[in-house]
């Protein structure tokens, strides 16, 4: 069994962690580092186009940085990336290639899976998407009663929802006026009903997005949506109001959607990496096909960088290594993702899936048990909302929570005519910067006492209050700063996170591209469903049986 801790770099990093703890015990270490090394910011930052990556407020010394790079070499991050883009079957437990990078490869050369070039198919689906999107947005695609489409409803869940929903929200300034895109994912009927409440069947188009076309929630929502449409317009209307995104032509056809209205993708596209495939159709409806291709182009820029930049200059590799430092050597359990841009309000949810479904595992690639920590708990909210919610814990809680701050220099809305943008964006940015500074600097006892004295609070009152107002500082953050949230910039940002997650999976020797951990609950739900409807009770623990009985009684089953 591979033991990722056996390499020289890992052992040396363990020693560095001990040294760091001693330094942290002296208090306010990062303040001292910035004072001692005026070039710390310049020396640690990396750039890709207009994206600036600043890890200088992480608990990383030059020696730690050197050893992390050595760890990246020892764990063969470069060759692992090459194997992925070459179409090797690196999704071991499902025996599949992992080739989302081919979906955004803009160079025109071949990309092979099992010896076969997949690029002609990729190009054909993009062309099919362009034709459909152009017709829809121009009004040439008409509903069954001859009216143009005003509302597009994407029905999908997990990877068939989170990516498109996140990207559509992020690119709001690019939406076509008069065309609204909605996302329905939850099997809770309230989600579909709430969405349809304001829509007219005559002007609504449903995109049923499901790689397998067997997902319970998506099929339940799709059937109910079809019943809503058929109830209003009749069965023949389905052809003008439903399209499908799937790898499963038979199931699409069985559902009643003509396969000519299916946009295909392939088993080498993982669900949570499928935004770049036909699964992105709803995004393309919202922003147009040219902008969608800019999104792909941005991701491709990050792919080239991840593949070609040496580890020390490779942004996703650096993010992965710093994350491993925080998780495995300093023992920090979580990662906060804090976009200072309201348009990115779904980014934390998206990255929760990308990261936690990929690296929330404790089995090594050869089936052993990991003896080391793996993926962190990821959470977040857009700034400044998070500041008024959970930042208290970030600043003074007993756990240290490393955080990624995402800043955008120019508001995408700044140029919108008549938009009352005022100085909102400066307020937003100043808050983001202030938080990273505060988390790093903290506030010493002496500073607190001085502040209290200036406020007229002295003696026992000051002594009682001071401990509550002290900030330890040394709370690590990374800042990612970009010019504007364009489709290109969004594609680049998302692909950087994808590759960071991939690199971490290699560093931890786990299978990042499967998700067996979501299966057990699905299996048990299938058994419980009939029991709630009145079937004979199954063999459960007392709690589950008791709750089933309680629900049956309350629901009159
Ligand atoms: C992602 C997962 C999962 C998947 C959903 C939806 O990597 O595989 O989130 O995307 O379960 O699956 P379908 O697209 O097959 O409906």
Q: pTM of the predicted model, to two decimals?
A: 0.97
Catalytic residue set: 357, 388, 522
61 lines ligand 1 (CB under 6 A): no
515 lines ligand 1 (CB under 6 A): yes
159 lines ligand 1 (CB under 6 A): yes
Ligand 1: residue whose CA is nearest its atom 2: 271
Ligand 1: residue whose CA is nearest its atom 13: 210
pLDDT < 50 regions, the chain: none
Check residue 420 and give its pLDDT: 58
Query: Contact 319/504 with Cβ under 8 angstroms?
Result: no
Ligand 1: residue whose CA is nearest its atom 11: 158
Query: Contact 67/12 with Cβ under 8 angstroms?
Result: yes
270 lines ligand 1 (CB under 6 A): yes
211 lines ligand 1 (CB under 6 A): yes
3-state secondary structure of 145: coil
Check residue 416 and give its pLDDT: 54
Q: Determine the distance separating the centroid of ligand 1 and the alpha carbon of 522, expressed in angstroms.
A: 12
Give phi and psi for 180, each to the nearest 5.
Answer: -110, 140
248 lines ligand 1 (CB under 6 A): no
**How buried is 505 (Cβ within 10 angstroms: 0-12 exposed, 13-18 middle, 19+ buried)?**
buried
Check residue 245 and give its pLDDT: 98
Alpha-carbon gap, residue 538 to 550, rounded angstroms: 15
To test the pocket of ligand 1, the residue of 159, 252, 262 to mutate (highest count of ligand atoms within 8 Å of its CB) is 159
The 3-state secondary structure of 411-443 reads: CCCCCCCCCCCCCHHHHHHHHHHHHHHHHHHCE
Closest CA to 222 of 247, 196, 259: 196
pLDDT, tens only, 9-28:
999 999 999 999 999 999 99
Atom of ligand 1 nearest to the CA of 212: 15
To test the pocket of ligand 1, the residue of 160, 275, 358, 501 to mutate (highest count of ligand atoms within 8 Å of its CB) is 160
244 lines ligand 1 (CB under 6 A): no
Could you tell me how far CA 304 lies from the centroid of its own chain?
20
**How buried is 22 (Cβ within 10 angstroms: 0-12 exposed, 13-18 middle, 19+ buried)?**
exposed
Q: Determine the distance separating the centroid of ligand 1 and the alpha carbon of 275, expressed in angstroms.
A: 12
Structure tokens belonging to residue 546: 């008791």
């Amino acid at each position: 069994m591979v033991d990722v801790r056996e390499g020289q770099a890992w052992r040396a990093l363990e020693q560095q962690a001990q040294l760091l703890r001693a330094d942290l015990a002296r208090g306010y270490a990062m303040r001292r580092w910035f004072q001692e090394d005026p070039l710390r910011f310049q020396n640690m930052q990396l750039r890709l186009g207009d994206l600036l990556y600043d890890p200088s407020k992480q608990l990383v010394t030059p020696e730690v940085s050197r050893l992390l790079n050595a760890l990246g070499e020892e764990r063969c991050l470069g060759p692992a990336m090459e194997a992925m883009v070459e179409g090797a079957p690196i999704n071991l437990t499902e025996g599949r290639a992992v080739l989302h990078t081919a979906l955004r490869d803009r160079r025109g050369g071949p990309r092979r899976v099992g010896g076969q070039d997949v690029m002609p198919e990729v190009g054909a689906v993009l062309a099919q998407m362009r034709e459909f999107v152009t017709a829809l947005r121009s009004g040439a695609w008409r509903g069954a009663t001859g009216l143009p489409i005003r509302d597009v409803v994407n029905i999908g869940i997990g990877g068939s929802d989170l990516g498109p929903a996140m990207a559509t929200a992020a690119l709001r300034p690019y939406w076509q006026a008069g065309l609204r895109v909605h996302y329905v994912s939850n099997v809770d009927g309230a989600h579909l009903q709430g969405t349809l409440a304001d829509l007219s069947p005559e002007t609504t188009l449903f995109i049923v997005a499901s790689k397998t076309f067997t997902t319970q929630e998506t099929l339940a929502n799709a059937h109910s949506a079809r019943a809503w449409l058929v109830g209003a317009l009749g069965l023949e209307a389905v052809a003008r109001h439903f399209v499908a995104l799937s790898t499963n032509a038979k199931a699409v056809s069985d559902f009643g959607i003509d396969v000519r209205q299916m946009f295909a993708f392939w088993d080498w596209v993982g669900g949570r990496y499928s935004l770049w495939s036909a699964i992105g159709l709803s995004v393309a409806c919202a922003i147009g096909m040219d902008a969608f291709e800019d999104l792909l182009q941005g991701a491709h820029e990050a792919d080239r960088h991840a593949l070609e930049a040496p580890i020390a200059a490779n942004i996703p590799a650096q993010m992965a290594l710093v994350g491993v430092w925080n998780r495995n050597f300093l023992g920090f359990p979580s990662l906060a993702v804090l976009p200072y841009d309201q348009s990115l309000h779904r980014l934390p949810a998206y990255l929760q899936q990308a990261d936690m479904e990929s690296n929330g595992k404790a089995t090594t690639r050869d089936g052993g048990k990991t003896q080391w920590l793996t993926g962190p708990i990821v959470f977040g909210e857009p700034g400044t909302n998070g500041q008024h919610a959970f930042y208290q814990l970030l600043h003074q809680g007993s756990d240290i929570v490393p955080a990624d701050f995402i800043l955008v220099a120019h508001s995408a809305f700044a140029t919108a005519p008549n938009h009352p943008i005022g100085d909102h964006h400066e307020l937003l940015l100043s808050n983001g910067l202030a938080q990273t500074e505060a988390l790093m600097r903290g506030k010493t006892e002496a500073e607190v006492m001085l502040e209290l004295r200036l406020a007229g609070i002295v003696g026992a009152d000051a002594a009682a209050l001071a401990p509550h107002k002290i900030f330890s500082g040394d709370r690590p953050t990374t800042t990612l700063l970009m010019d504007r949230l364009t489709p290109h910039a969004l594609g680049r940002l998302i692909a950087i996170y994808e590759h960071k997650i991939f690199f971490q999976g290699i560093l931890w020797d786990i299978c990042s591209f499967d998700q067996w951990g979501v299966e057990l609950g699905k299996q048990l739900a299938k058994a419980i469903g009939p029991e709630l409807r009145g079937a004979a009770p199954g063999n459960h623990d007392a709690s589950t049986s008791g709750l089933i009985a309680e629900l049956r009684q309350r629901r009159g089953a």
